[in-house]
Amino acid sequence: MHSQLQRRIQRYGWDKAVNNYEDGWRDSLALVQKCLLKTANARHGETVLDLACGTGLVSFPLADAIGPEGRLIATDISEKMIEELECVAHAIRVANIEAKRADGETLDIIDDQMFDLVTCALGLMYFLEPMNTFRQSLRVLKPGGRAVFAVWGARKNCGWADIFPIVDARVKSEVCPMFFRMGTGNVLANELKEAGFENVKEERISTVLPFANDENALTAAFAGGPVALAYGRFDDATRKSAEAEYLASIADFKKASGYEIPGEFVVCSANAPE
Ligand SMILES: C[S@@+](CC[C@H](N)C(=O)[O-])C[C@H]1O[C@@H](n2cnc3c(N)ncnc32)[C@H](O)[C@@H]1O
């Protein structure tokens, strides 16, 4: 797909998703975000770059860990995500986060060898060429600096995955053509090594994603995530048919009290060469 088009789909799609993202996904993503934070082990006074930061579900705990002596730059392609993060940082008086709109594949606003740690939680699936991000991360990390990346796992282990073909069938171009690539097999770890990272370690996490009811599951899938731009343009009839098809696709995971949808994540850590 044309790279400009893919970036526009991401940028404006996530702008649209901003008000539904946390309600839709906070509980489902807590486990993998915790795992990333534990692996990252951010320490007092460190400099951290959080890529594809979204509303800051990972940025705020990182900022807390590095304390007032530390500095965190949070970047995202979506202006609205950055505004939301800034707004919360202001409201809760977090002063050590600087939020900037930036494409995670180019990072041209960031100087060389600035960071002790680079993180990216659940952003790489939306990047066209994650290898660009890995090479840029190596450029901006200090020698020996750490990087931790988390992605969704293999398609067959993510029970909500039919959202993509369901939406793609109703639009002209695929929304997230490479979504499950990084989390399949050892692709993420292998690409990190190929980029020049050392000490690459991989952890695969299986979990269950809780959604309280149909409405909650639909909001997360359609309005709170990467298909939000396409969904926002559907007429009523298209919305209804897409929603019905999605609910049918997750029907096997319906329990007495909402949904428990299988999910899988991969978390990789690595170091820049000394
Ligand atoms: C699922 S959210 C993850 C947000 C956050 N890291 C978290 O763990 O909650 C994915 C984020 O990736 C961002 N994104 C998508 N493509 C991007 C790109 N090329 N560069 C930077 N951010 C991008 C989106 O705007 C969105 O905020």
pLDDT digits (tens, 9 = 90+) for 16-67: 999 999 999 999 999 999 999 999 999 999 999 999 999 999 999 999 999 9
Which atom of ligand 1 is the closest one to the Cα of 11?
A: 25
Q: What are the tokens at 112?
A: 């060389």
- Residues touching ligand 1 (Cβ under 6 Å) are 7, 10, 14, 29, 33, 52-54, 57-58, 76-78, 81, 103-105, 121-123, 126-127
Per-residue pLDDT tens digits for 138-175: 999 999 999 999 999 999 999 999 999 999 999 977 78
Q: pTM for the full model?
A: 0.96
Is the pLDDT assigned to residue 1 strictly greater than 80? no
Which of 19, 14, 25 has its CA nearest to residue 207?
Answer: 25
Give per-residue pLDDT as tens, 253-269: 999 999 999 999 999 99
Which ligand 1 atom minimizes the distance to the CA of 150? 8
Residue nearest to atom 13 of ligand 1 (CA): 52
| Domain ranges across the chain | 3-158+176-210+260-271
pLDDT tens digits, one per residue of 196-226: 999 999 999 999 999 999 999 999 999 998 8
Q: What is the CATH number of domain 3-158+176-210+260-271?
A: 3.40.50.150
Nearest CA to ligand 1 atom 1: 122
- Residue minimizing CA distance to atom 26 of ligand 1: 54
| 24 Cα–ligand 1 center, Å | 15
